[in-house]
Amino acid sequence: MKALLCSLFSLSAPLLADPLIVAHRGASGDAPENTLSAFLLAWEQGADAIEGDFHLTRDGRIVCFHDRTTKKLTGKDLTISKSTLAELQTLDAGSWKGTVFAETRIPTLEEVLACVPDGKRIFIEVKCGPEIIPALIKAVKKSGLTNDQIVVISFHKGVVKALKQKLPHWTVNWLYSFDKRDPRDPDKKLPQLLATLAEIKANGLGSSSHPHLDKDHVDSLAQKGFQYHVWTVNEPVTARRFIKMGCRSITTDYPGALRNSLERRIKFPSP
């Protein structure tokens, strides 16, 4: 079934022009996050890219799951880094979202990569440290996806720096979460962010949405050669604001609904 669904969306189309609509942990508003169900639904809903969270297991495999432990979504408390792939794939990662998703399994990176159609992209968020890099590179190279289809993102400066040292031609963005309680946080943090991006050789910055982020901030990043990406945006009015600022991608829990709303006002290229 997975292979059939993937083939339906593999339409040899060119990569869409920016801004991209990126499905946050897949179409996570409608399906259990970080599962093949959510990723396949994201393609069906017209996402340009999917975003998922990845950890290294005890036996050197990479799995797609947000938290460091599994208790919140599965009810069973396993630490991913101390568990084997076989142990993790006994867990039910879907019932929390509804009985229709019962017995949904935690996917491997290889399974997620295999689901990315031609002309689409994947944002791989590394949730652990640089120890994941050898297995990550091996899985991506075996997947057959092009470098243009791969974007690696991480909050960990060490991961970004180490990966750019090994594969400078890959797109690797650093993540930062602004403090929404402080209206001046973007102004205060921008010099530090620019310095860190340059130090670790990142291609760009992905940040949380902040009401006081503006075009001047995005222009300052662009002037230094850095892309800007935003997460997690579900409201069309906020998405339009970031598009006008020059944002390169918008990560959302509802890729279909957001795209439909934006296309009423903003012309996106056809696939």
Determine the 3-state secondary structure of 154 from DSSP: strand
Q: What is the pTM of this model?
A: 0.91
- Over 50: is that where the pLDDT of 12 sits? no
Weakest-pLDDT range from 2-6, 231-235, 237-241, 264-268: 2-6
* Residue 247, domain member (yes or no): yes
The share of the chain scoring above pLDDT 90, in percent, equals 89
pLDDT above 50: residue 132: yes
Partner residues linked to 212 by β-bridges: none
In tens, the pLDDT along 150-170 reads 999 999 999 999 999 999 999
Annotated catalytic, 212?
no
Domain assignment of residue 269, yes or no: no
How many domains, in total, are found in the chain? 1
The answer to whether residue 66 is catalytic is yes
Judge whether 114 and 6 are in contact, CB under 8 Å. Answer: yes
Asked if omega into 130 is within 30° of 0 (cis), the reply is no
> For residues 64 and 39, is the Cβ–Cβ distance under 8 A?
no
Which residues are CB-neighbours of 163 under 8 A, at least 6 positions away?
130, 133, 136, 152, 170, 172
Expressed as residue numbers, the domain containing 85 is 2-8+19-261
Question: Tokens 């650093």, residue?
Answer: 174
CATH of the domain at 151: 3.20.20.190
Is 72 a domain residue? yes
Would you say residue 268 lies in a domain?
Answer: no
Q: Which of 24, 210, 217, 229 is catalytic?
A: 24
**159 in Cβ contact with 167 (< 8 Å):** no
In a domain, 174, yes or no: yes
The answer on pLDDT for 267 being more than 70 is no
Average pLDDT over residues 205-212: 97
State pLDDT tens for residues 59-88.
999 999 999 999 999 999 999 999 999 999
Residue 135 lies in a domain: yes
Residue 266 belongs to a domain: no
pLDDT at 49: 98
Residue at 23 is within a domain: yes
Given the residues 55, 66, 210, 212, the one annotated as active site: 66
Asked if pLDDT for residue 221 goes beyond 50, the answer is yes
